[in-house]
Amino acid sequence: MSEHIVSSKLYIGIWLTLLFLTGLTAGVAFIDLGPFNTVVALVIASVKATLVVLFFMHVKYTSEKLTKIVIASALFWLLLLLGLSLADYTTRLMR
Amino acid sequence: MAVESHELALRHHFADPEQQRQAASLGMWVFLATEIMFFGGMFCAYLIYRYWYFNEFAAGSRSLDITLGTVNTAVLICSSLTVAMGVRAAQMGKNKLLVVLLLLTLVFGFAFLGIKGVEWYQKYEEHHIPGPSFDASDLIREYPQIHIDPQHSQIYFSLYFAMTGLHALHMVIGIGIFCYLTYFAVRGRYTPEYHTPVEIGGLYWHFVDIVWIYLFPLLYLIDRKPLG
Amino acid sequence: MATAAVTAERENYLNQQYGIRSWLLTTDHKRIALLYLASITFFFFIGGFFALLIRLELLTPAGDLVQADTYNKLFSMHGQVMVFFFLIPSIPAVLGNFLVPLMIGAKDLAFPRINLLSWYLYAIAGLMYIHCILTGGVDTGWTFYTPLSTAFSNTKVIEAGLSIFVVGFSSILTGLNFVVTIHRMRAPGMTWSRLPLFIWAHYATSIIQLLGTPVLAITLVLVVLERALHLGIFDPKLGGDPLLFQHLFWFYSHPAVYIMILPSMGVITEIVPCFSRKRVFGYEFVAMASIAIAVIGFLVWAHHMFVAGISLYSAMIFSFLSYLVAIPSAIKVFNWTATMYKGSIRFSTPMLYAFGFIGLFTMGGLTGLFLAALGIDVHVTDTYFVIAHFHYIMVGGAVMGYLGGMHFWWPKISGRMYPESWGRLAALIVFLGFNLTFFPQFILGYLGMPRRYWQYPPEFQVLNVLSTAGSTILAVGYLLPMVYFLWSMRYGKVADDNPWGASGLEWMTTSPPPTFNFEETPVVTWEAYDYAHIPDPEEVAVER
């Protein structure tokens, strides 16, 4: 992280947004959106995670490109594990 | 003591404090990448079995206490705030504030674990702990409109305990790290020039929070639609 | 040239401090490398002992040396010890630990205390595994397949699993240290394109260790939880899928084989230019091939599961990807060969191991392509063909590279030369013993002899006897270096700073190096493998 000091107002703002999104995701779960319930839940979770990474973990303010490469690589590798495994499970002739 | 702290903290194999700080930061980020893969294996198992046994996953999810789950999510978000503000206090040399914020973080951490313990106890009382005492007949009775195989339900709860258990273990380790940070903050170890342990301890804590941010909807919110 | 007396008195990392505490509490990467050298050699003996018993049993068609259950334990523990406690740490933890800081011009790794922790985790895991062996062992195959491991085996699965979990963590920390060190601790002027290819190879290896090992870790945790606490994730009675275990296991264990071979390729890429007196042909291609192997290696894991029950569609995908991964390896073989072309070849011991590596690795790699073909795989899966394939790569490849590297850098590590004639003899014995041991196994497998069987039809006996005979010769070949390396520490010729006339910063400091590696931090202004400007030691010192 850099020496950039984030204002406490911004931190409070992010915190309130995270709390709001938490309530939102819990509330939306009770509304019937069909298969989109899962999508919405994951999108909200990803927004929350992105806010934590960018602001609380200072990735928005860092001059280190390597940090972003490390995060992107880890996420990509996780997707590899999930995706290629699913390639087997979704093409089996069962159930 | 505070003035010299950064020279004392410079390890001899580094050329300068900035190289040391960058190395520590990169090291923690790389470690967090390994943690993403570590939890990722369980997310993979979750993904496959949710795809196969959606009904049982939905029923199991409904049996979790959504209020406690939401509150716990909020608790961790508050703890991430105190951690971020703590790093900021260290950056600005406000040592007393730093100590207060670290202690608050610990309070939130213990609160999370306490609530988790209550939830697990609830599962114990409902006979939802996998093993010889497992009994899903309450779920079958409650949701007659969907077919629930009690064996498949056990898989949901096995994953529930494995994932929240591993997460809780990481919380315990995080609490340990923050006890360490609090102790040295009280001793005045951290200054605007040197507060790397606070920064990288904070990164770890935020990561554990992010894991929960995903666990919450995946475990608690699979299907809460009104039944009709 | 320094006399023996002067060199012995010059302070270096070996004589700077004496006493067991100075070794067990060291943070010097060079001493930690030697701690690893001792421990992995110890486990090599254990794994080798299990191999010896396996080969003895297979001398006769009948199961007459050990019981069937015992035989299951022998091949399971041979595999686990050799893979997790010998091959995976070998080059990175010994040669990598020793050389990475030296090669980039640093005083130590980025995290010396984590480096020591890494060794202690290895040691603790090792003690756990020895305890496991002594109290009954494990019989699930090195692969821990469920539901045998989770529900039916009566052996020490939990202890073995936890032990491997701990040693995996050791591996992760080594990888973490290397990645941060290579990014942040390079000397001034040491740009990425001037790095020795050994460093590129270890960088690629570290990526695999970091991104793959955690998945093995969580898989072992789940097996332990299922066995101990009935958290039935893989239990078929509950609707669990044994193939899920295999997906998660092989997601790590296939890239793991690249953890074992990439560092060895890195060693070969240092040896070949030195003993050809020529710079590496196609530096960028070799560097990129290392990264490509690491990345593509993560995309092929289900080729271990072609007959296990995965969908045909996904089998075709993984088969295609498995062909792709051979390409960067082949590129490296071409580059080594092109480096030698019109070079001035010296047949010193390290170069003999390099030749052996290139030939045997190529055979092992090509037979991997056989296995990647779905039709052939159905025929030879779970036969000795597969066993021969991976031993060609891991023993004919990785171990030869390890031995070549130990000989190449021995002067730097110990300050002494090993006896060259014995070195060449041992290399020859290893090569002959290896081929006699494992070539018959290709034939056995193709003819249909299954793996993990403790008895076999009599028509397979001749080939098995040849294989066992080869293994005893191979054992002699492995013992010789251990003897003469130890001998050389007392009686070997005192080594110069750069006895081979090799390129690389490690050769620009003393043999052995001082604790902080360099008198002054080097400033690099030249390209890697600058052999046009490095004097050839065989032409400089006429009286040698």
Q: What is the pLDDT of residues A54-77, one digit of tens each?
A: 999 999 999 889 999 999 999 999
Distance from A80 to chain B by nearest Cα, in Å? 10
Q: Does C28-539 carry CATH code 1.10.540.10?
A: no
CB contact under 8 A, C184 and B19: yes
Distance CA B95, CA B15 (A): 28
Please tell me the predicted confidence (pLDDT) of residue C539. Answer: 65
Look up residue C257 and give its two tokens: 């084989």
Cβ pair C215:A81 closer than 8 A: yes
CB contact under 8 A, B131 and C237: no
Structure tokens at B204: 């770890």
Q: Which domains does chain B have, with CATH numbers?
A: 42-220 (1.20.120.80)
**pLDDT tens digit at each of 544 positions of chain C:** 444 444 455 889 998 888 999 999 999 999 999 999 999 999 999 999 999 999 999 999 998 999 999 999 999 999 999 999 999 999 999 999 999 999 999 999 999 999 999 999 999 999 999 999 999 999 999 999 999 999 999 999 999 999 999 999 999 999 999 999 999 999 999 999 999 999 999 999 999 999 999 999 999 999 999 999 988 899 999 999 999 999 999 999 999 999 999 999 999 999 999 999 999 999 999 999 999 999 999 999 999 999 999 999 999 999 999 999 999 999 999 999 999 999 999 999 999 999 999 999 999 999 999 999 999 999 999 999 999 999 999 999 999 999 999 999 999 999 999 999 999 999 999 999 999 999 999 999 999 999 999 999 999 999 999 999 999 999 999 999 999 999 999 999 999 999 999 999 999 999 999 999 998 999 999 999 999 888 888 765 443 3
- B91/A3 Cβ within 8 A: yes
A19 and A58 within one domain: yes
Q: Kindly state the average pLDDT of the residues A42-62.
A: 96
Longest Cα–Cα distance of chain A, Å, equals 56
| Euclidean distance between CA atoms B213 and B72, whole angstroms | 10
Q: Minimal Cα distance from B35: which residue of A?
A: A74
Q: B31 CA to chain A: closest CA distance, Å?
A: 10
Q: What pLDDT is attached to residue A35? A: 87
Residues whose CB falls within 8 Å of the CB of residue C294, separated by 6 or more in sequence, listed in order: C204, C205, C207, C208, C255, C258, C262
Q: Is A51 on the interface with B (CB under 8 A)?
A: no
Opening angle at CA C540, ends C539 and C544, nearest 5:
85
B128, containing H or E segment: none
Location of structure tokens 């008198």: C519
Same domain, A52 and A74: no
Q: What pLDDT shows up at residue B225? A: 86
- Inter-chain touch B80–A64, beta carbons under 8 Å: no
Under 8 Å between Cβ of C385 and C366: no
pLDDT at B27 over 80: yes
**B56/chain C closest Cα distance in angstroms:** 11
pLDDT level of residue B228 (50, 70, 90 thresholds): low
Q: What is the DSSP letter of C494?
A: B
Query: Distance of alpha carbon C311 from its chain centroid, rounded?
Result: 33
Q: Are residues A44 and A71 in the same domain?
A: no
| Confidence at residue A95, expressed as pLDDT on a 0 to 100 scale | 42
Beta bridge partners of C383: C450
Residue range B161-181: mean pLDDT, rounded = 97
Residue B7 predicted with pLDDT over 60: no
Rounded to a whole number of angstroms, the distance between the first and last alpha carbons of chain A is 49
Please state the domain count of chain A: 2
Nearest CA to CA, how far is B146 from chain C (Å)? 18
> Cβ–Cβ of B25/A1 closer than 8 Å?
yes
Same domain, A87 and A47: no
Question: Within this chain, do residues A53 and A22 fall inside the same structural domain, yes or no?
Answer: yes
CA distance A95 to C236: 15
B12: β partners: none
d(CA C128, CA C161): 10
Q: C-alpha C538: how far from its chain's center?
A: 31
With beta carbons under 8 A apart, name residues in chain B contacting C232.
Answer: 130, 154-155, 158
Q: Are residues A43 and A53 in the same domain?
A: yes
Show residues of chain A in contact with C247, CB under 8 Å: 85, 88
Q: Looking at the complex, report in whole angstroms how far the Cα of residue C300 sits from the nearest Cα belonging to chain A.
A: 9
- Residue C544 confidence (pLDDT): 38
Residues A70, A56 share a domain: no
What is the rounded (10 degree) CA torsion for C508, C511, C513, C517? 10
- Supply the range of the domain harboring residue A95: 64-95
Measured over the CA atoms of residue C385, residue C390, residue C396 and residue C399, the dihedral's sign is: negative
Q: How many Cα atoms within 13 Å fall on the side-chain side of residue A49?
A: 19
pLDDT (tens digit, 9 = 90+) per residue, B85-105? Answer: 999 999 999 999 999 999 999
Q: Is C320 left (phi over 0), alpha (psi -120 to 50) or beta?
A: alpha
Whole-angstrom Cα distance, residue C309 to residue C231? Answer: 24
C313 and A87: CB-CB below 8 Å?
yes
Q: Do A76 and A49 share a structural domain?
A: no
Q: How far is CA B1 from the centre of its chain?
A: 35
Q: Where are the domains of chain C?
A: 28-539
* Contact criterion met (CB < 8 Å) for B44 and A55: no
Rg of chain A, C-alpha, whole Å = 18
Decide if C183 touches A, using CB distance below 8 A.
Answer: yes
CA distances from C495 to C1, C69, C309, C407, C483 (A): 9, 51, 57, 13, 19
B45 to C244: CB separation less than 8 angstroms, yes or no? yes
The dihedral through the CA atoms of C60, C65, C70, C76 has a sign that is negative
Neighbours of chain C (3+ CB pairs under 8 A): A, B
Give this prediction's pTM: 0.95
Q: CA-to-CA distance for C496 and C468, rounded, in angstroms?
A: 41
Q: Which chain C residue lies closest to A93 (C-alpha atoms)?
A: C311
Contact state of B88 with A22 under an 8 Å Cβ cutoff: no
| Cβ neighbours, 10 Å, residue B133 | 10
Q: In this predicted structure, what is the pLDDT of residue C8?
A: 52
Query: Are residues A1 and A42 located together in one domain of the fold?
Result: yes
Q: Are residues A57 and A76 in the same domain?
A: no
* Pair A29, A52 in one domain: yes
**Cα angle value C374/C376/C377 (rounded, 5°):** 60
Residues A33 and A51 occupy one common structural domain = yes
Give A87's contacts in chain C (Cβ within 8 Å). 311, 313-314, 317
Q: What is the mean pLDDT of residues A5-23?
A: 95
